[in-house]
Amino acid sequence: MAIASHLLGPRTNILILTGSPIAGRFSFPEQIDFVRIPGMIKKTNDEYLPLSIKINARHALDIRKNIITATAKTFQPHLFIVDKEPFGLKKEVLPTLQWLRRCRPGTKAILGLRDIMDDAETVKRDWAEKGVYNLLDELYSEIWVYGNQTFYDPIQEYNINGSISAKMHFTGYIPRKVPGKEAARKLKKEIGLKEGEKLVAVSTGGGGDGYTVMHTYLSMLESSPRRLPFKSVLVTGPFMPKHERKMVFRRARRLGIRTYHFYRQMEKIFAAANVVVSMGGYNTLCEILSQGTLSLVIPRETPRKEQLIRAQAFNQQKLVDYIPWHDFAPENLQNKILALLENPGPYQQAISQFRLTGIEAMQQRLRVFRCKKS
């Protein structure tokens, strides 16, 4: 959505194919719409199950594949962007890419990769086994990497050859909407923050694997012998299992903490906070850095190491602090939060100098496409 809204033009229509069950909760600008495909939830790196409908995973993937292909054939796009996975889940996008190459050779097929997929050995093995390297060369016009090559270089890490690397453009990270000061002020008032009080926000993204972070944060507050010098707001995420979410809400209520299971404009919470505790997903960190807010990351290490590698790379640039999973405990969490609140200077300086250039770079690529076409 962050990309789509910035690629709009006077005569541009954008159609988003998504498996997210909460897509309908967001407001879409004119000329942007979405097609909902069955959502899938990851169990392991290679196993996905239907999120809502109770059918065989293979059947759900077939439905997704058929909807994607039928939509592309009907919509006939000039630009087709595939997000994150080179060919979607279980190569569900492959038939569409092959059709575009065969029947619409003028369509630009773009692979949009996040800064980090996984640890190098896992990606190299996975891509070799699935024939990804050959298909990247054959089916994509360009590959846009939504990150900084100086932070992490997938060309080197994933052994990407010259013909593929020649198609790669590093856009930088994708900025998010920045609310005005009045919006942040209203949010602080909504959660009862007094003048001069510090705020720590805790977000676990979708929340499917976020319970441990919420549990440890609440344990930190419950076990502290003194009242800590900040207020808290928690956002569990819409995919946290219901029984876990209920436990989080019950404990938070006893502590007088405002808690949401979903907040439509997370940028307002991140802008109002002094520190955000998160798991360091790509979208979450882009949202936090767009607001210029300090960040403490608790990266998961399974089933992928993406979040850990990103936390380490960002920490080297002083853009975030992080706690490795094996060191994640209430006492360490409290010490890290207090250290950020008491000595924010080094991180604030690095964040203030950091530019999220993703949208500018993508718009520049579109200008190049239009010039070549004309």
Please say whether the beta carbons of 320 and 337 come within 8 A: no
How many Cβ atoms are within 10 Å of 168's Cβ, its own excluded? 18
Please say whether the beta carbons of 241 and 207 come within 8 A: no
293, burial (CB in 10 Å: exposed 0-12, middle 13-18, buried 19+): buried
Same fold across 2-173+357-373 and 181-353: yes
Residue 34 pairs with which residues in a beta bridge?
16
Please say whether the beta carbons of 298 and 328 come within 8 A: yes
CA distances from 202 to 236, 336, 340 (A): 8, 14, 15
Cα 202 from Cα 209, distance rounded (Å): 14
Q: Which fold would CATH assign to domain 2-173+357-373?
A: Rossmann fold (3.40.50)
Could you tell me which of 274, 281, 282 has the C-alpha nearest to residue 338? 274
The model's confidence at residue 22, banded by pLDDT at 50, 70 and 90, is confident
What is residue 193's predicted lDDT score, i.e. its pLDDT?
Answer: 93
338-367 pLDDT per residue, tens: 999 999 999 999 999 999 999 999 999 999
Residue type, position 82, single letter: V
Q: Is 204's pLDDT higher than 90?
A: yes
Cβ neighbours of residue 129 closer than 8 Å, sequence gap 6 or more: none
287-322 pLDDT per residue, tens: 999 999 999 999 999 989 999 999 999 999 999 999
- pLDDT, mean over the chain: 94
Cβ neighbours of residue 216 closer than 8 Å, sequence gap 6 or more: 298, 328, 329, 330, 333
Please say whether the beta carbons of 352 and 292 come within 8 A: yes
What mean pLDDT is predicted for residues 82-102?
94
Could you tell me which of 79, 109, 74 has the C-alpha nearest to residue 93? 109
Max CA pair span of the chain: 69
> Quick check: bond before 21 cis, omega within 30?
no
The model's confidence at residue 168, banded by pLDDT at 50, 70 and 90, is very high
Residue-by-residue DSSP string for 240-302:
S-HHHHHHHHHHHHHHT-EEES--TTHHHHHHH-SEEEE---HHHHHHHHHHT-EEEE----S
What is residue 213's predicted lDDT score, i.e. its pLDDT?
Answer: 98
The model's confidence at residue 144, banded by pLDDT at 50, 70 and 90, is very high
Q: What is the CA radius of gyration of the chain?
A: 21
What mean pLDDT is predicted for residues 19-31?
84
Please say whether the beta carbons of 172 and 150 come within 8 A: no
Q: Indicate the domain borders of the chain.
A: 2-173+357-373, 181-353
241-288 pLDDT per residue, tens: 999 999 999 999 999 999 999 998 999 999 999 999 999 999 999 999
What is residue 237's predicted lDDT score, i.e. its pLDDT?
Answer: 94
Pairing of strands 40-42, 48-50: antiparallel
Residue type, position 268, single letter: K
Please say whether the beta carbons of 278 and 205 come within 8 A: yes
User: Could you give the residue ranges of the DSSP H alpha helices within 130-258?
Assistant: 132-139, 154-157, 162-165, 181-190, 211-223, 242-255
CA distances from 1 to 32, 33, 144, 208, 292 (A): 9, 10, 16, 21, 21
Superfamily per CATH, domain 181-353 = Glycogen Phosphorylase B; (3.40.50.2000)
Structure-model confidence comparison of residues 282 and 5, the more confident one: 282
